[in-house]
């Protein structure tokens, strides 16, 4: 009885301190997450110890994380993301890669091991969806023209964060990212996501709509939460974090015709548990750990603020956003995310205990900075106009024009997209024939080997009989994809129509050489900086860009040769 009374008292402290945190945050006009983390730390076992039960703290932390990801899943919208399309994906990809690099290297600089550095890199690469929504509502910026793009970027980040959470959860007990762990993690992730999109959304959605249409609002709550926890248990069964299942369950709800009705009904409860989640995380913060690693916490926060602001501004500006809008977007996105804290809770290794405290410090610090920046947009714009030279502005405008055109070409309905779509229709059948011929050659060779025939002439005959049509179809495929290569070179190696062939050729040689050297140098740079293997994608991207300039070079060189021959004949 005494134990039950103690748990009831501690639960009441949960409610009281959640209220105090939200009230204080509202009065100070800062995001409510700040107040919840601070008051959770005060009430937790590391300060006043008003709540000592680790079981209660752990329960609210895990339950809150599940429901928070359920909320993110409900907000997930493929149609919204597709509207911003390639631009949102491009900006988010580069922004997250840059932040991961700086967070990862900073963690190594402060003596953390490689596994812990990967956790830190992932933590600092994510902007807070919840806090972003909250700040947008409080500052009255939710209807800004740039918000749809920013929200699309947050959706992309959430998807990447879910994949990262899946990866980190499936790591071995030591936290070492072995190749077997990576393959297993990716396989399970794709299997679960594939099963969800191919079966759950297609077959379960109709049943849920019919079921919920017959119930009142109170019953809708239990239908939604039942789906959430069934998917969470399924994810746990497959060895993944239950939060992944909750995200997928939220996505199912988001796809329903009556999604808004369900969301409106369960929204207050989701907000309550989200508040308990941040409060429980605050109770796990150890002020001594923050103080003992204050240099790392402060450096990580400062690096995140500076790098995130600068990269977000430059990426938005260079892809078509005006300077004022890019400033607003950069100020809005400088908030370390709740996914960062969730990733910190699953961290393993000897340095895992400091990540939650350091991450919580960063969330509080960056939320305050973002709120500060959003309140001073005009002043910041004035400072920028005074400090940035006119020549730099002109150069920036030229880069912005280039990248805006690039984004437009690669976006749906853009030139490269349209050409690729048409050519794929021509190439797909030929690729299928090539695959069938190669399979037939393999079966024939296997049959000859099984029959005990070791004659070289037979093997050569199979190679010639099968290889000749394969080569023929490959030539046809190359002919069909030539428009794609032309469109790719036009998109990447863009130039003025009035430019002379000689100047274009010289420019293409310079850029092709630069990107080839960059592709050759990147493996050594990756080894030097001890970067994870997925950074090796930079090689392929650099080679592709170099190839686009080489193809453009060949086109203009051929045109120049024809012109000179024509002049010689004349």
The answer to whether 491 touches 416, Cβ cutoff 8 Å, is yes
pLDDT value at residue 298: 93
Q: Which residues of 519-550 are buried (b: 16+ CB within 10 A; e: fewer)?
A: beebeeebeeeebeeebeebbeebbebbbbbb
pLDDT value at residue 102: 94
pLDDT value at residue 300: 93
- Which range among 113-127, 300-314, 542-556 has the greatest average pLDDT? 300-314
CA distance 336 to 362: 6
Write the pLDDT tens digit of every residue in 85-101.
678 888 888 999 999 99
pLDDT above 80 (res 57): yes
Q: Out of 163-167, 298-302, 561-565, 566-570, which region has the weakest mean confidence (pLDDT)?
A: 566-570
pLDDT, mean of residues 228-233: 81
Helix (H) / strand (E) element for 563: namely helix 537-569
Tokens of residue 450, six digits: 């099984």
Tokens of residue 386, six digits: 């005074």
CA distance 114 to 175: 10
Residue 410, burial from CB neighbour count under 10 angstroms (0-12, 13-18, 19+): buried
Longest Cα pair distance anywhere in the chain, in angstroms?
107
CA dihedral sign of residues 398, 334, 249, 257: negative
In order of 212, 491, 505, 515, the CA distances from 510 in angstroms are 63, 17, 9, 9
pLDDT value at residue 238: 67
pLDDT, mean of residues 144-151: 76
Average pLDDT, the chain: 79
pLDDT above 80 (res 201): no
Residue 71, burial from CB neighbour count under 10 angstroms (0-12, 13-18, 19+): buried
Q: Is 336 in a helix, a strand, or coil?
A: strand
pLDDT class for 253, splitting at 50, 70, 90?
confident
pLDDT above 70 (res 205): no
- In 40-93, where do the E strands start and end? none
pLDDT above 80 (res 464): no
61 closest CA partner among 14, 95, 118, 112: 14
pLDDT, mean of residues 133-158: 72
pLDDT above 80 (res 203): no
Which residues is 127 bridged to in the sheet?
A: 336
CA distance 271 to 134: 12
Q: Out of 6-10, 187-191, 257-261, which region has the weakest mean confidence (pLDDT)?
A: 187-191
Can you list the domains of the chain with their CATH numbers? 2-387 (1.20.1530.20), 415-569 (no CATH)
Radius of gyration of the chain (CA): 28
Q: Out of 3-12, 425-434, 529-538, which region has the weakest mean confidence (pLDDT)?
A: 3-12
pLDDT value at residue 382: 86
CA distance 63 to 279: 12
Which residues is 336 bridged to in the sheet?
A: 127
Helix (H) / strand (E) element for 258: namely none
Q: Out of 24-38, 77-91, 142-156, which region has the weakest mean confidence (pLDDT)?
A: 77-91
pLDDT value at residue 77: 58
Estimate to the nearest angstrom the gap between the alpha carbon of 273 and the chain centroid: 25
pLDDT value at residue 568: 67
Total residues found in the chain within this entry:
570
Tokens of residue 511, six digits: 């850029």
pLDDT, mean of residues 151-158: 79
pLDDT value at residue 103: 93
CA distance 570 to 566: 6
pLDDT, mean of residues 313-337: 87
> What percentage of the chain has pLDDT greater than the value 90?
8
pLDDT above 70 (res 415): yes
Return contacts of 184-188, CB within 8 angstroms, 24+ apart: 188/238, 188/239, 188/240
Write the pLDDT tens digit of every residue in 268-316.
777 788 788 888 888 888 888 888 889 999 999 999 999 999 999 999 9
Taking each helix axis from N to C end, the angle separating 2-28 and 54-75, rounded to the nearest 10 degrees, works out to 50
DSSP class of 349: S
pLDDT above 80 (res 418): yes
HSE of 48 in the Cβ direction (CA atoms, 13 Å)? 12
pLDDT value at residue 1: 46
pLDDT value at residue 98: 93
CB neighbour list of residue 562: distance below 8 Å, 6 or more residues apart: none
pLDDT above 80 (res 391): yes
């Amino acid at each position: 009885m005494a134990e039950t009374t103690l748990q009831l008292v501690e639960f009441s402290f949960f409610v009281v301190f959640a209220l105090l945190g939200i009230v204080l945050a509202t009065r100070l006009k800062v995001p409510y997450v700040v107040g919840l983390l601070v008051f959770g730390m005060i009430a937790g076992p590391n300060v006043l110890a008003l709540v000592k039960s680790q079981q209660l703290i752990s329960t609210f932390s895990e339950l809150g994380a599940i429901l928070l990801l359920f909320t993110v899943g409900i907000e997930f919208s493929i149609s919204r993301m597709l509207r911003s399309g390639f631009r949102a994906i491009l900006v988010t990809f580069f922004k997250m890669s840059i932040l991961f690099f700086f967070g990862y290297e900073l963690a190594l600089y402060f003596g953390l091991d490689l596994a812990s550095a990967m956790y830190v890199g992932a933590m600092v690469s994510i902007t807070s969806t919840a806090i972003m929504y909250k700040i947008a509502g409080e500052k009255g910026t939710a209807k800004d023209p740039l918000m749809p793009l920013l929200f699309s970027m947050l959706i992309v980040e959430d998807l990447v964060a879910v994949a990262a959470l899946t990866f980190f959860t499936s790591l071995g007990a030591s936290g070492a990212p072995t190749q077997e762990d990576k393959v297993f993690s990716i396989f399970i992730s794709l299997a679960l996501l594939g099963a969800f999109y191919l079966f759950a959304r297609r077959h379960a959605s109709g049943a849920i709509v019919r079921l919920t249409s017959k119930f009142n609002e109170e019953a809708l709550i239990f239908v939604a939460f039942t789906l959430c926890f069934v998917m969470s248990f399924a994810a746990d069964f497959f060895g993944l974090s239950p939060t992944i299942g909750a995200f997928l369950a939220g996505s199912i709800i988001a796809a329903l015709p009556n999604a808004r009705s369900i969301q409106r009904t369960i929204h207050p409860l989701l907000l309550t548990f989200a508040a308990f989640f941040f409060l429980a995380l605050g109770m796990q913060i150890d002020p001594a750990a923050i103080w003992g690693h204050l240099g790392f916490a402060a450096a990580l926060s400062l690096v995140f603020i500076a790098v995130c602001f600068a990269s977000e501004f430059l990426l938005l500006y260079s892809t078509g956003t005006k300077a004022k809008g890019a400033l607003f977007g950069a100020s809005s996105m400088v908030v370390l995310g709740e996914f960062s804290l969730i990733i910190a809770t699953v961290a393993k290794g000897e340095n895992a205990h400091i990540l939650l405290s350091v991450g919580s410090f960063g969330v509080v610090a960056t939320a305050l900075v973002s709120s500060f920046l959003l309140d001073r947009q005009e002043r910041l714009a004035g400072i920028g106009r005074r400090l940035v030279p006119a020549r730099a502005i002109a150069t920036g405008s030229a880069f912005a024009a280039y990248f805006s055109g690039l984004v437009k070409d690669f976006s749906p309905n853009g030139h490269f997209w349209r050409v690729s779509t048409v050519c794929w229709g021509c190439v797909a059948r030929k690729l299928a024939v090539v695959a069938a011929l190669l399979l037939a050659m393999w079966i024939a060779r296997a049959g000859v080997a099984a029959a005990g025939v070791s004659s070289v002439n037979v093997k050569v005959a199979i190679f010639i009989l099968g290889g000749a049509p394969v080569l023929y179809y490959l030539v046809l495929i190359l002919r069909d994809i030539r428009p794609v290569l032309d469109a790719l070179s036009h998109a990447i190696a863009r130039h003025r129509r009035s430019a002379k062939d000689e100047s274009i050729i010289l420019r293409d040689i310079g850029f092709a050489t630069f990107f080839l050297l960059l592709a050759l140098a990147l493996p050594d740079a990756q080894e030097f900086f001890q970067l994870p293997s997925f950074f090796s994608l930079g090689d392929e991207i650099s080679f592709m860009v170099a190839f686009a300039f080489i193809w453009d070079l060949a086109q203009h060189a051929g045109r120049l040769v024809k012109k000179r021959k024509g002049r010689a004949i004349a």
